[in-house]
Structure 1
Amino acid sequence: MPDRTTHSIAHFAASFMLGGLEGPLPPGDYDIDHDEELIEGMSRVAWRRVATFIHLPARAVKNPAISQLVAIDHLELETALKRDRENAA
């Protein structure tokens, strides 16, 4: 089954928490990867998200020697982004 990875950037104005990570992460822009697989049997092209990953640390402090790719829950990421936008308003 074909699959793909799409990329986005998540911006946080304040520190935030995501399950499975130790302590809060600092504000900044974070690279996000979404792994998706093709849904077959459809009359149109459709993709299903199967995994989401965050690149640590944030983009502004990138150091290849200490970078990590960590699996996260996509819905938890969306909730954290929504909370961050609401608090910034």
Structure 2
Amino acid sequence: MRSSRLMVTFANPFALAGYPGELLPGDYEVVVEEELLQGLSFEAYRRIATYMLVHGRRGLAGRTELRLITQNDLDEALSRDRAITKDGTDSEAALSPQEDQK
């Protein structure tokens, strides 16, 4: 098993498929878990889960949710954010990889 972490930044409120309500703009940590594929003559990994850490705000401050998401849902949310930003302001939505392997 290995895990990698990356930060994503949303410039605008956004929603994720399968979860009610909008999330506030800001930085969010994404954790990707992968497992080593056995029996190959080379090292290869398969993604088994992608999670986004969502920190509670206002009445839920101090509470953090680990939300299971798909890479496709994350990519779509970032694309929508970039489109809104491009049409409205000069803020940026970005992916910045930050590896943390176990």
The answer to whether TM tops 0.5 is yes
Bigger-Rg structure (1/2): 2
Following superposition of structure 1 onto structure 2, how do residues 58-69 of structure 1 map, counting pairs within 5 Å? 63=61, 65-69=62-66
Q: Deviations over 1:47-74 (max 9, x none)?
A: 111111111128xxxx5x3111111122
Q: Deviations over 1:17-66 (max 9, x none)?
A: 102222011111001101111123333322111111111128xxxx5x31
Ranges in structure 1 where 5+ consecutive residues have no aligned partner: none
Aligned with 2:73 (options 72, 76, 89): 76
| Count of residue correspondences | 82
Aligned with 2:10 (options 5, 9, 12): 12
Deviation, 1:82, is 1.6
Q: TM-score, normalised by structure 1?
A: 0.80
Rounded Cα–Cα distance in structure 2 between residues aligned with 1:85 and 1:19? 17
Identity of aligned residues (%): 37
Following superposition of structure 1 onto structure 2, how do residues 14-29 of structure 1 map, counting pairs within 5 Å? 14-29=12-27
Rounded Cα–Cα distance in structure 1 between residues aligned with 2:31 and 2:9? 14
Q: What is the match of residue 84 of structure 2?
A: 87
Rounded Cα–Cα distance in structure 2 between residues aligned with 1:86 and 1:48? 30
Higher mean alpha-carbon deviation, 14-23 vs 42-51, is at 42-51
Rounded Cα–Cα distance in structure 2 between residues aligned with 1:40 and 1:48? 10
Rounded Cα–Cα distance in structure 2 between residues aligned with 1:52 and 1:5? 10
Q: 3-state SS of the aligned residue for 1:43?
A: coil
Aligned residues: CA RMSD: 1.7
